[in-house]
Structure formats: C-alpha cells, structure tokens
Structure 1
C-alpha cells in the first residue's frame, strides 16, 4: 500500500472536517482534465472512545385543583432542585429546561358528577455533567431535592473530543477506501495512481444510553443505596466517497 497516497487522503479528510465544500480535486479546476480511467468506492470508518460528558433528564411533577396551584408547586420544586444542584457543583448553564407543561386532566364522563377537574404539571430538565463518574450522585441529589422522574441518562463527548474522534474515523475511512479501490483495480488490470475527488457522505455519533435504577430513599439521608450508572463507549461513524485516478497495469 502506498503510504504517500494514504497520507494525501488523510490530509484531504482533515480539510473536509475544517468545513470546506466537501469535495477535493474538482474537474472544474483550470487546466485540469478528467482522467481516462477511474475507480470509485464508498467506504466507512469508525472510532470509539470512553465518554467525557453525560446528560441526565429529570422531571418534577405537580397536581392541584387549579393551574395556579400547580405552577406554584412547580416553582417551589424548581427552586429546591436548582439550589441542591448548585450546592453539589452544577452551574446554571448546566441546568436547562427542556419541557414545561400545565394542563387540565378532565374526569371520565361517568365520573363527571362527583369529580372536579384536576390540573397536572411537568417541569423537565436536562443536566449536563462533565464528570461521568458522578452521574449516579447527581441523580441522587435530584431525587433528594424533589425530582419525581429520571427519564434518560446519555453518555457522549465534548465538542473537542468528538472532533478528535471524527478525525480518526475519517482517517480510518480513507484507508479503507484506498484498500477497497486497490482490490477493485487489481481485479480488473488497473493500477491506482492518484486521488481525483473525495467527499463525505455521512457522519453519525452514537452516544451510550443507560437505564438508571434509583433506590427510593437514595440521596435523602435515609441510608439508601446510592445510584450506580454503568457507562459505555461512544462511537463516531463516517462515510467517504472517493474517486481514484487509475491507469492500465504494467
């Protein structure tokens, strides 16, 4: 395998990551003519790493005889939850509201004579945690401060780490493209001589999602067993389409 060619492919992939048009070696360049023979391949590459960021989705719920009563309860729960998370160490920008809903819950028709309407409310938060080993502790703090539900735990990557992993995935993809092109060329009496164009066709990050198991009295001073969350690797998948210039083999 020609290391210089793979190196050139890797450099082009890094250029693509920097936000260029997505195609290198366009035939529209002045003075450049299309090669007589080409080999086109689409190849994928991936890279995995341990997560360095986590998001936890929690929610507080309220029920009352009026919308005002529900809003007041949600506001009180919001104050308690934010104060507890701030005391633990989360900044305001790490606590984001992702849903706020107050609605009327009407009784069934057969119950209308004896039951009045109830109102229910939900305030849902997304907590961003930079220490992935502390996810269980943050869940316990949230439950102890009044959160009624833990809806999702997701492990991912910081922007910097994701960029690094994406670069590695692209390097793997272009190496696979080079190997596949040479296999095709050799089987048809051709020889790969250069890269004509290269473009990205797909990029996907697969975070790791976990289902938390929370002890009823965890985090509230009642001696409950702390919540433990197991994390897993995060995968970045990419795909490239490469057109190689080829010539007849000797």
Structure 2
C-alpha cells in the first residue's frame, strides 16, 4: 500500500507543479490587452540604379582536320586576343568555356542493300569563349580589341550591378522600407489615439 500511496502523492505533486507553472507562465490580463493592441506593419523600399558593369562574351572558333590542329590554331588566336585586351587596358578577363567537337558530313555508300548514308568525321572545331568585365562605356572597345586579336564570334553583352553596388542598393532599399513601415505605424498610432 505504501508504494501506491507514494506513487499517488508523487503524481498529485507533479500535476500541482504543472498547473502552477502554467499559471505563472500564462500572460496576465494586462499583458493580453497590450498584446491585443499590437499592430504589425510592413514597409517597402524601391531603389533604381544604373548598372556599373558590362559583361562581354566573345569566342574564337577554329576548324582543322585534326583535333590537335584545331586546338593549336585556337590557342594561338586566344594568345593574341588576350594580348590585345591587355594592351587596350582590360584586366578582368577569364575563360568561360572551351570545347573541341568533331565536324561531321554525310556520305552515300554502296552496300549489299543498296545505297546508304552514313556520317563521317571530316574535321574538328575548337571553341574558346571568354568573358571581359568592364565599365559599360568600354564594352565596344573590348569587342574591338577582341576582334583585332582574332575573335570571330560575339556571344552577348549584358549590363549588371557589381557586388558592391548591389550591397549598397540593398542597404538603401532596406532603409527606405524601414522608413516606410515607420510612417505607416505613425499614421495608425495617430488615428487610434
């Protein structure tokens, strides 16, 4: 019997502790009233800015009978392009893609079943694409320098924000959003009295 009585007393004590904690941790009426008077507002901030970077993508495409020859021709052209870009004052230049692919043609062949077509490799194409990052006003100069060096394909020009300008614009937009939310909260507070 003593074990059952001890267990029941322990269980009763546990329930009392839980109820006491619940009462202590529950918000008082004044806290609930303050909570009920809480109003959430949101704000927005828009920042418009001009891109400060141009990303110019150019390539050299070289063809030859063997892959080794195509790669060698391409490499020589790229060396000249890099030299021209450096001479023109461009230092932010990097390779984005390099590939060597076979060039196929179709031929007809006489077989036991008649004439059939099949593809055969007639050469190789080496492609090397580079990116030049510069200020927007210099994009044309970068293209001219690359073409002088031997680039034979212009892939794209895109205008973007530099990382530092992105961070600056984001911070400015946050400030505007906070001010906008504060103005909304002030209007609500004045209206409610």
Same fold (TM over 0.5): yes
Name the CA distance, whole Å, in 1 between partners of 2:44 and 2:124.
Answer: 51
Name the CA distance, whole Å, in 2 between partners of 1:43 and 1:59.
Answer: 46
- The match for 1:36 is 35
Further displaced range: 68-77 or 166-175: 166-175
- The match for 1:30 is none
Name the CA distance, whole Å, in 2 between partners of 1:43 and 1:142.
Answer: 47
- The match for 2:95 is 97
- Summarize deviations over 1:141-197 as a string: whole Å, max 9, x none: 1112111121121222333333222211111222333345566xx4xxxx38xxxxx
After superposition, residues 23-62 of structure 1 pair within 5 angstroms as 36-37=35-36, 38-62=38-62
TM-score of the aligned structures, taking structure 2 as reference length: 0.67
Sort the Cα spacing of 1:65 and 1:168 in 2 relative to 1 into closer, same or farther, 3 A.
Answer: same
| Structure 1 residues not aligned, in runs of 5+ | 1-32, 193-247
After superposition, residues 17-166 of structure 1 pair within 5 angstroms as 36-37=35-36, 38-91=38-91, 94-108=92-106, 110=108, 116-129=121-134, 131-166=135-170
Once the two structures are TM-superposed, the CA of residue 109 in structure 1 deviates from its matched residue by 6.3
TM-score of the aligned structures, taking structure 1 as reference length: 0.53
| Structure 2 residues not aligned, in runs of 5+ | 1-30, 110-116
Which structure has the bigger radius of gyration?
2
Question: Is 2:106–2:118's contact at 8 Å kept on the other side of the alignment?
Answer: no
Match of 2:179 among 154, 175, 181: 175
Name the CA distance, whole Å, in 2 between partners of 1:42 and 1:67.
Answer: 61
Question: Is 2:106–2:119's contact at 8 Å kept on the other side of the alignment?
Answer: no
Once the two structures are TM-superposed, the CA of residue 249 in structure 1 deviates from its matched residue by 2.9
Q: How many residues align?
A: 154
SS in 1 for 2:127: strand
The Cα RMSD (Å) is 2.9
- The match for 1:197 is none
Higher strand share: 1
